Amino acid sequence: MRQITIIATLLFFSTLTYSQVTIYYDDNGDITMRDLATHYRVAKVDTVLNKFIGEVNDFWMNDTMMETLNYDLKGYKDGVIKVTYQNGGLKIKGQYLNDLKSGKWVISTKKPLLIDFSGKKIKPNKTIDSLEICLLRKENFNVSQYIRKSDYPYIYSLISKSLSLNNKEDVLTVVEEKPYFPNGMQALGQFISAYIQYPNEALKNNIKGQVIVEFTITEDGSTSNFKIIKSLGYGCEEEAVRVLKLLPDWIPAFQRGKAVRTKFKLPITFE
């Protein structure tokens, strides 16, 4: 009876490490924010061992199946793998056993060449394995430029850079290293231009000018506490805040080698 209890307890604690996640990828196979993704994955992840567990499904952004595969409890590929075209036709079908290809593999003859997730052409007898571009290669998470904590609530700590966090709740205004947007301010301007929508009321009344928004950039780069410093009215403030909430996380400010909270003011121009 005692042995059964111990086994049950161990199984209970092991299941606590599993998280059902959705991971978004761009056309280079890098993990990205949902808004920039070309395809996505739905899977269970062992957040302690950094391995996929059970059935893993990849989808195109139109929700059609792209790839399906299964992982065993050790994190090895096991069972049938299917890769499909975006229109739903079968591209590849095969089987893995203990992480190795097994049995006969069916390769579609519709196209002589296949395209992998980095855009490179590969031979027809070679499978597309997007599953290599994930938790088992953690460095891919670290080099991803555009991610949001809200997109990855269960595995954000695995895909974001390791930070020495400051436990204090102080919000600083002067810091040694200022926060910055991934790829710089030019990239920030491109993001805002892509997302911004001129409010109808502002257009009707020929409203032009700047809205200035102040917000907090936290220790992990996520944003909060949006406050309007300068307004225009006619829906411009609401639109400015809406767009800023859609942006990916920032690289946080640092003070004495530790990531800290800081305030940041950003003007958004309507013209």
- Could you give all domains of the chain from N- to C-terminal order, each with its CATH number? 2-159 (no CATH), 171-270 (3.30.2420)
pLDDT of residue 53: 87
pLDDT of residue 184: 83
pLDDT of residue 162: 42
pLDDT of residue 3: 47
pLDDT of residue 257: 79
Two structure tokens written together for 189: 């301007």
The list of the chain residues with pLDDT below 70 reads 1-16, 86-88, 109-145, 160-175
pLDDT of residue 212: 93
pLDDT of residue 140: 45
**Diameter of the chain by CA atoms?**
78
pLDDT of residue 109: 67
Residues 6 or more apart in contact with residue 82 via CB below 8 angstroms: 65, 67, 68, 69, 90, 92, 93
pLDDT of residue 241: 93
pLDDT of residue 18: 80
pLDDT of residue 137: 42
Selection from 31, 261, 243, 236 nearest residue 141 by Cα: 31
pLDDT of residue 131: 41
Two structure tokens written together for 212: 């200035």
Residue type present at position 12: F
Place of tokens 């810091």: 175
pLDDT of residue 5: 44
